[in-house]
A = this chain, B = another copy of it.
């Protein structure tokens, strides 16, 4: 068995713990998405489409090439989950919104993600609330994804 002989500082150790958490979460979303015949990006995009969003917003959030978003939205449209439409204020921009079917799939996916992810299962209700509040505060202002606005 490995012995801990590390020189990492406490903050660095914290970072590693956080990173661990991050990777596990990703796995859970991917596995859940598969059940709905969605790629990881498609599943995550449903999460993001509580409201309509411009394609370039998705590009920023996913930190990827714009062409990937074209393909991503093509896929969602092909499945009848979302539709594109022009931004009336700027005809360069296309906005995406979920269809009725997309809304349903999103609701089901999100509900199951929350119930089954077990990510917070080790925490009592109060701790869960604390954690989420801290994450929300930490996240605030970092990019345009903030679902509160």
Write the residues of chain A forming the contact surface with B, with a CB cutoff of 8 angstroms: 1-9, 11-27, 29-30, 44, 47, 50-53, 61-63, 107, 110-111, 113-114, 117-123, 127-128, 130-132, 134-143, 145-149
* A113 neighbours in B (Cβ, 8 Å): 15
Contact A120 B132, beta carbon cutoff 8 Å: no
Copies of this protein in the assembly total 2
Complex-state Cα separation, A32 to B22, whole angstroms? 17
Given contacts A20-B146, A51-B3, A139-B20, contact A127 B134 (CB under 8 A): yes
Complex-state Cα separation, A120 to B107, whole angstroms? 30
* A107 neighbours in B (Cβ, 8 Å): 7
Given contacts A4-B148, A25-B18, A61-B23, contact A12 B111 (CB under 8 A): yes
Given contacts A19-B44, A23-B44, A139-B20, contact A14 B63 (CB under 8 A): no
Given contacts A27-B63, A123-B138, contact A117 B5 (CB under 8 A): no
Add 7 more A-B contacts to A17-B136, A20-B145 (CB < 8 A): A16-B147, A17-B132, A20-B142, A118-B142, A127-B137, A130-B130, A130-B134
Nearest chain B CB to A149 CB, angstrom units: 8
* A147 neighbours in B (Cβ, 8 Å): 4, 6, 13, 16-17, 20
